[in-house]
Structure 1
């Protein structure tokens, strides 16, 4: 039997569709597996498109999440170190970037949002909050932000619409725009925009160097397009059984679905060797 610590030293999990079940809960079996793996010296990180504040609130409700866990938030724009409540890396869109994305949104007549104080903010004055709230529970605001403020920054921006409408937005992205920014689908109705080179894979690479853990000893687990770079980076890239077919085809291994203990099974099979 191989040495656990020698083979694998860290697991990076996506949250929605991976650790979180369809009802947005985390199973006791997963929490038990994490506790046993921590006892074996394994480190954990959680990589998500969610805002840092949102993830911190979630993590603080789960006793099994280790004190020295790391959070990769906003698709890689932020990395937070839990044990001393410190952001160790941040790469934000600047005001000039936000203007460029909003100009593109104006051209295609589709609002793009930043998340400010747990609300979706946009300079679009005429917008149906009802339509947006079909896909997001956050409040929609069209005032309160000075979009011309040179100090304005954001970790990411978001287009929120139906699956087909997001498909249409992606087709309208120019080559020059795609060369300047990283567009990625985090869910069927979310198209997110970050600085070029900002994604979960780049953040995982930074964390790997920060902790002196080689990629070959890291397992990464996810289910969506915004997980692809992270799965490619890791020594073992695992797709959830509920992942899109493209993600499963790009992974090294496919586990069970998020509603069938797929995240727990990754730890049990590869770390605990049950």
Structure 2
């Protein structure tokens, strides 16, 4: 992977015109904000004519401040690509929801007697967060995301509108891994897109929605670019599709080994401003 960077030095450097950035674990670490060295690198890339896009699993409202901070003029990719919206518009440009039948099936699974007390379940509907109850995990999530959850008891009462995303979270990482493995045997990729955005988050979206498809839309449909003109930086399994699509796919040093393995280059960790190092290497 390091050889990839060396090979691209000098005249063979890629013609990067679009930089797609994940938020958590990529440009925002423990501080829940973008550190100045990363912002400086992003601004330097923009001065060279590179467009910058945010591609995140976060809610649209939760991601908006990062989109504004980097000065992006492109639509914001939220909910793993299930929601793509230009902040100047009142409605999403593209939106895929999770089919109600699949949502009910997932909820039945999460509410099994052996799982119910171990999981916090989140439904995201019309960019609002609905939960059964406010658990410690939900409180921590709400604090980082800046979103006030709405406790409704039985989540079935919210399903007059299909959710954009379903999330189950637990501090038990092994449980989330087991959950993902089990549900991947029950649903095909044509039925649900299942992933982890952090070690403690199991996420489900419409099968048409992933960051790779959303970044492809921005690159090819909005900007008229090719994959070779795209650089993507991410840190987890929900970033895999966009890292695979991009001409230059960069994994953070804090990414799981399986994610690093599919990337063309591995940057330093988020706390060491790895995104800035990657931008310096391939764009500046």
Map of 1:57 onto structure 2: 65
Find the residue that maps to 1:173 and give its secondary structure: helix
* Structure 1 position 23 matched with structure 2 position 31: yes
* Structure 1 position 192 matched with structure 2 position 192: no
Change over 3 Å in CA distance of 1:194–1:119 after alignment to 2: closer
* Structure 1 position 93 matched with structure 2 position 98: yes
User: For residues 29-178 of structure 1, what are the structure 2 equivalents within 5 Å?
Assistant: 29-60=37-68, 62=69, 65-82=70-87, 87-107=92-112, 109-110=115-116, 112-115=121-124, 118-122=128-132, 129-130=135-136, 132-133=138-139, 137=143, 139=149, 141-143=151-153, 147=157, 149=159, 151-161=160-170, 162-173=172-183, 175-178=185-188
Map of 1:13 onto structure 2: 21
Change over 3 Å in CA distance of 1:220–1:58 after alignment to 2: closer
Map of 1:252 onto structure 2: 264
- Matched positions, count: 263
Runs of 4+ in 1 over 6 A off after TM superposition: none
TM-score by length of 1: 0.85
1:155-199 Cα deviation digits (max 9, x unpaired): 100011121221221233263424411110111110000111321
Map of 1:237 onto structure 2: 249
TM-superposed deviation, 1:84: 5.2
Contact 2:51–2:72 (CA under 8 A) maintained in structure 1: no
- Structure 1 gaps of 5+ residues are none
Paired with 1:261 and 1:131, the residues of 2 have a C-alpha distance of 27
Paired with 1:79 and 1:228, the residues of 2 have a C-alpha distance of 18
1:124-153 Cα deviation digits (max 9, x unpaired): xxx67235546654646134866375x412
Change over 3 Å in CA distance of 1:144–1:174 after alignment to 2: closer
